[in-house]
Amino acid sequence: MTDYTARDAAKVVGLTVDQVRAYVRSGFLAPARGSRGELRFSFADLVLLRTAKGLVEARIPSRRVRVALGRLREQLPDGRPLTGVHISADGDRVVVRDGGSSWQPESGQFLLDFDVAELERQVAPLTARAADAPLDPAEADGWYNLGCDLETEDAARARAAYQRAIAIAPSHVEALVNLGRLLHETGDLRGAEATYRRALDTRPDDAIALFNLGVALEDQGRGHEAADAYRRAVAADADCADAHYNLGRLCERLGRRLEALQHLATYRRLTGK
């Protein structure tokens, strides 16, 4: 087997599916696409994801992670077996060794040391699966995951995938929230609002749906309703920095200066800005 789904990659490497997709969006990882446009990861991609996890766990800033792994991806030797590659930390340097050759993709202070052979052992059970197994159209999560994979390549097809997921499972909150965001991006503010409200009918305290609803309402000029949505968002998740910022800015505009100062102070505390 030469490629793996986003869910396979997340399971093997120990990341969430959303984290895997975030690495793809950052640009340093460029997996292939399956027949439906879904992400398909090679073993080399899994090596990079494993490295990314180590860097993140060592609290390396995300910008430096992108630089280091972007360079590492370019420098992995073509045609050589990945079981012969060893990636480790040597003091403040990332060192990649392949036989008698070694190189440093980026400098940094972190702790990271693993054998690619061990990663190969972990993915071995997946080889029994067909490389391009068709997506089960009866599974809402499958259509949702396909929508996530398609967002950066084809927003229209991503919307269609989310709509299919919702048709199968009308209370699929994640699909509803993502569909609402895509509708918002096309300028369909009313459609986005209605979709977020459907998500909230199922999960009233979903901070992301509440925050996105606030943005949709604010963009429609409905400031007081937007402020209420942001208040519900921070009540659901007190660490939702963006909701504190938007609420503080909106309260200032609505003449609620004390409330504005409170939320902006919370935003600064959460973000360090």
Write the CA distances from 156 to 104, 113, 193, 212, 257, integer angstroms: 41, 42, 19, 20, 41
Alpha helices in the chain (DSSP H): 6-13, 17-26, 43-57, 62-75, 116-123, 140-150, 155-168, 173-185, 189-202, 207-219, 223-236, 241-253, 257-271
C-beta of residue 157 within 8 angstroms of C-beta of residue 150: yes
State residue 14's pLDDT score.
86
Residues 166 and 144: their CA atoms lie apart, in Å, by 8
140-271 CATH = 1.25.40.10
Tens digits of pLDDT across the chain (273 residues): 457 888 888 888 888 888 888 888 877 677 888 888 888 888 778 877 877 777 667 665 666 666 666 666 666 555 544 335 566 655 455 566 655 555 656 542 333 445 555 666 666 665 444 334 455 556 888 889 888 888 877 888 889 989 989 998 999 999 999 999 999 999 999 999 999 999 999 999 999 999 999 999 999 999 999 999 999 999 999 999 999 999 999 999 889 999 999 999 999 998 886
DSSP state of 139: -
Give, in words, the CATH class of 6-128.
mainly alpha
State residue 85's pLDDT score.
52
State residue 43's pLDDT score.
79
3-state secondary structure of 95: strand
Residue 61 sits at φ, ψ, to 5 deg, of -55, 140
Residues 231 and 246: their CA atoms lie apart, in Å, by 10
C-beta of residue 223 within 8 angstroms of C-beta of residue 256: no
State residue 132's pLDDT score.
45
C-beta of residue 216 within 8 angstroms of C-beta of residue 184: yes
State residue 81's pLDDT score.
40
For the chain, give every residue range classified as CATH 1.25.40.10: 140-271
For the chain, give every residue range classified as CATH 1.10.1660.10: 6-128
